[in-house]
Structure formats: C-alpha cells, structure tokens
Amino acid sequence: MLEVQPGLYLGGVAAVAEPDHLREAGITAVLTVDSEEPSFKAGPGVEDLWRLFVPALDKPETDLLSHLDRFLLCHPGCSVVA
C-alpha cells in the first residue's frame, strides 16, 4: 500500500489480503474497483471494515465517471481528493 495523502492509501488486491496491514494503517473503509470482488481474510477488525465494490475492467473505455457519486458519498468521513 502507498499512502498518497495522510489517511488515504492506494493499493492492489494484495493490500486487502492481510487484515493486519489494514488495521495497522488505521484503515476503516475500502473501495475496490476491479473485475472481481476481493475476499477478505477473517480477522480482528475485518468485521467492522466498510467496503464498496464496483465491478469494472481495466480498459480505457471503462466508464468510472458514472460511479463517481458512489465513490464520493461512499462513507462518512471520506474526503474527495483533488
């Protein structure tokens, strides 16, 4: 995982594979944009993790803008990054 702004991380599917990493980073919400929904390993803190999955292919023609409202309003306390 890469912290791109304080409290905002960017990572691949492997980043959510270990609940200890999420808990250590203080992550409380995960937004996944991928063709397959990730499976979260059971562990302390995972049951309280807020998750949003948006199915999308990694292709130039994929329309992510149609999901923008869901991203921005996904979780109380999430901020828009500009």
pLDDT tens track, the chain, 82 positions: 888 888 778 888 777 777 777 888 888 778 788 888 877 766 666 677 777 788 889 899 999 888 777 766 655 555 544 4
The per-residue DSSP string of 11-65 comes to: --GGGGT-HHHHHHHT--EEEEEESSPPPPPP-TTTTT-EEEEEE--SSTT---G
Count up the domains in the chain and report the number. 1
In a domain, 80, yes or no: no
Q: CATH code at 23?
A: 3.90.190.10
- pLDDT value of position 82: 40
In a domain, 79, yes or no: no
In a domain, 33, yes or no: yes
pTM for this predicted structure: 0.69
- Range of 21's domain? 2-72
